[in-house]
């Protein structure tokens, strides 16, 4: 057994971070057992408050640089041709607590992920119906959720390039797992951009605005960028970097969440995903990262945007072991042993480590 390196994190979580953790739901990692995450187990990051929306009064407005502005009721949207896409979604801040020095925002460990079966209309078809103007470069999405950021009141807003917005898989979704969106998932309508971190998939969508210039709002210019310091303009976060996570084996201690299992054969299992390409390989180490071997991969969800399942057999010997899991995608991206610190604490896809006690 190798020496065990626990991920060291600073111990001081502020009241502000606890308040965020109390309302933003993680997916307990045993839910990696399910190809489609059951309702209520998908992660949630709610920037402000969950709006209570009157579906009868709600309208989606599509305007800006378009020839024919649209105003659509929920019934009108649901009457249009729709598709269902299974997509894995992860928060850009997943893994934030693993970075040092500690970043003061939602304190995610590894649980900010889930896979939903989302049904909606293709955004491209609505854009075509509205007739995008020749000067258009971006599409802006405005949610009904409002709050303050750095003392400025604002609606939650994100934009996409016109090219990204017109991609085949980009939906305006009104169902999750076969039922109307729950309030916390953006009822009555949300943007869904498969492959991208979740901040892009604007919830409680009210307004789609075609722009002749790039949008420079708070959530584009000030957040969700990989910045080395506050002055660094940084690179915007877009697609999810690869990550493998395991169903924690054995049973937990209530307080420490450390894992306990009996010696003998066990199948280690989990899921892996990347927003850039299909997963090419998952490797598992049972000695803290000294040696690795390949897991069996199964693309068990019929969607190129969903995670894949992996399994590996292990003959668990007596002792305390550090298990490690890492993924590589078909575009050549792979998980690093350590995350790279950045101002916002984004994109930390460092290798997962789980300590198990075999006794």
Output the six-digit token pair for 350.
Answer: 């460092």
Window 249 to 268, contacts with a copy of itself (CB under 8 A): 251-257, 260
One residue of 135, 147, 317, 319 binding a copy of itself per CB under 8 A:
147
Phi, psi of 141, rounded to the nearest 5 degrees: -120, 125
Is 175 a residue that touches a copy of itself (CB under 8 A)?
Answer: no
Instruction: Measure the CA–CA gap between 117 and 301, rounded to whole angstroms.
Output: 10
Compute the least distance from the CB of residue 144 to a copy of itself, in Å: 11
Is 65 a residue that touches a copy of itself (CB under 8 A)?
Answer: no
| Residue 192, helix vs strand vs coil | strand
Contact segment (CB under 8 A) with a copy of itself among 33-41, 209-217, 238-246, 268-276 equals 33-41
8 A C-beta contact, residue 221 and residue 235: no
Instruction: Measure the CA–CA gap between 272 and 61, rounded to whole angstroms.
Output: 37
Instruction: Measure the CA–CA gap between 247 and 31, rounded to whole angstroms.
Output: 7
Q: Which of 161, 208, 190, 201 is nearest to 66 (CA)?
A: 208
Q: Angle at the Cα of 25 (from 106 to 116), degrees rounded to 5?
A: 120
Is 108 a residue that touches a copy of itself (CB under 8 A)?
Answer: yes
8 A C-beta contact, residue 31 and residue 24: no
Instruction: Measure the CA–CA gap between 6 and 207, rounded to whole angstroms.
Output: 46
Contact segment (CB under 8 A) with a copy of itself among 67-75, 84-92, 97-105, 209-217 equals 97-105
One residue of 3, 52, 57, 315 binding a copy of itself per CB under 8 A:
52
Compute the least distance from the CB of residue 277 to a copy of itself, in Å: 29
Instruction: Measure the CA–CA gap between 140 and 130, rounded to whole angstroms.
Output: 14
Residue 124 or residue 269: which is nearer to a copy of itself going by CB? 269
Window 304 to 323, contacts with a copy of itself (CB under 8 A): none
One residue of 49, 128, 168, 290 binding a copy of itself per CB under 8 A:
49
Is 149 a residue that touches a copy of itself (CB under 8 A)?
Answer: yes
Residue 111 or residue 329: which is nearer to a copy of itself going by CB? 111
Output the six-digit token pair for 244.
Answer: 């493998």
Is 13 a residue that touches a copy of itself (CB under 8 A)?
Answer: yes
Footprint of a copy of itself on this chain (CB under 8 A)?
9, 11-23, 25-26, 28-31, 33-34, 38-42, 44, 46-50, 52, 97, 104-105, 107-109, 111, 146-149, 151, 153, 182-185, 248, 251-257, 260
């Amino acid at each position: 057994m190798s020496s065990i390196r626990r991920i060291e994190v600073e111990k001081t979580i502020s009241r502000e971070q606890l308040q965020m953790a109390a309302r933003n739901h993680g997916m307990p990692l045993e839910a990696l057992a399910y190809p489609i995450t059951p309702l209520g187990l998908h992660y949630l990051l709610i920037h402000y408050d969950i709006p209570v929306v009157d579906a009868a009064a709600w309208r989606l407005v599509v305007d800006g640089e378009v020839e024919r502005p649209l105003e659509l009721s929920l019934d009108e949207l649901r009457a249009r041709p729709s598709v269902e896409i299974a997509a894995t979604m992860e928060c850009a801040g997943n893994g934030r607590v693993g970075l040092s020095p500690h970043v003061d925002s939602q304190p995610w460990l590894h649980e900010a992920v889930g896979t939903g079966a989302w049904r909606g209309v293709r955004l491209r078809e609505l854009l075509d119906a509205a007739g995008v103007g020749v000067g258009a470069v971006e599409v802006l999405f405005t949610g009904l959720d409002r709050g303050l950021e750095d003392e400025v009141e604002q609606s939650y807003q994100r934009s996409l390039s016109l090219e990204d917005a017109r991609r085949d898989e980009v939906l305006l979704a009104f169902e999750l797992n076969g039922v109307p969106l729950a309030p916390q998932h953006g009822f009555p309508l949300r943007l869904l951009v498969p492959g991208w971190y979740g901040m892009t998939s604007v919830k409680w969508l009210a307004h789609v605005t075609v722009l002749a210039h790039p949008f420079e709002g708070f959530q584009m210019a000030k957040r969700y960028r990989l910045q080395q310091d506050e002055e660094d303009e940084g690179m915007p976060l877009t697609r999810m970097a690869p990550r493998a996570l395991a169903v924690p084996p054995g049973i937990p201690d209530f307080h420490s969440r450390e894992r306990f299992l009996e010696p003998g054969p066990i199948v280690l299992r989990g899921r892996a995903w990347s927003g850039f390409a299909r997963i090419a390989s998952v490797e598992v180490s049972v000695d803290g990262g000294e040696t690795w071997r390949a897991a069996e991969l199964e693309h068990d969800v019929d969607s190129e945007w969903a995670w894949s399942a992996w399994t590996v057999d292990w003959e668990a010997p007596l002792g305390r072991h550090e298990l490690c899991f890492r993924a590589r995608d078909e575009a050549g991206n792979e998980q690093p042993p350590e995350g790279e610190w950045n101002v916002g604490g984004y994109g930390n896809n460092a290798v997962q480590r789980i300590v198990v006690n075999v006794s």
